[in-house]
Amino acid sequence: MSRLATPLRKNDNVLVVTGKDRGKRGRVLKVLPDTNRLVVEGVNMIKRHTKPNPGKQIKGGIVEREASLHASNVQLVCPECGAQTRVGHKILGDGRKVRICRKCEGVVDK
């Protein structure tokens, strides 16, 4: 099983650049590396019709939740300059490899 590498990680802030939710910003809730997809908070909302299941404390009805979208449809928002950007990599003096903003050269990782 091959893993597709996406530079985005859980809890990154991203901007949707294409699709029906273009322009929305959100936080990455889940990364699905096998399919190169992401689940972003408040983006790509779908309605799911669920049956009640009292054993799992699930009420029935129409539930609205986030669906996954492809990683190529979003761009990282730099925490330092606030701009949408591509992700670069840099090795720091102490040997750590970190992600950097391509626009301001700021470190994205904490």
CATH of 13-51+58-101, one of 1.10.3720.10, 1.20.200.10, 2.40.50.140, 2.30.30.30: 2.30.30.30
- Helix and strand numbers, DSSP H then E, in the chain: 0, 10
**Exposure string for 83-102, b = 16+ CB within 10 A, e = fewer:** ebbebeeeeeeeeeeebbbe
Domain ranges in the chain are 13-51+58-101
- Report the pLDDT value the prediction gives residue 5, as an integer from 0 to 100: 74
Q: Whole-number mean pLDDT of the chain?
A: 91
Place of tokens 């990683």: 71
Residue-wise pLDDT tens digits, 31-65? 999 999 999 999 999 999 999 999 999 889 999 99
From the number of C-beta atoms within 10 Å of its C-beta (0-12, 13-18, 19+), residue 103 rates as: middle
- Report the pLDDT value the prediction gives residue 1, as an integer from 0 to 100: 47
- pLDDT of 110 higher than 80: no
pTM of the entire predicted model = 0.82
- Nearest-angstrom CA–CA distance, 100 and 108: 5
- pLDDT of 2 higher than 60: no
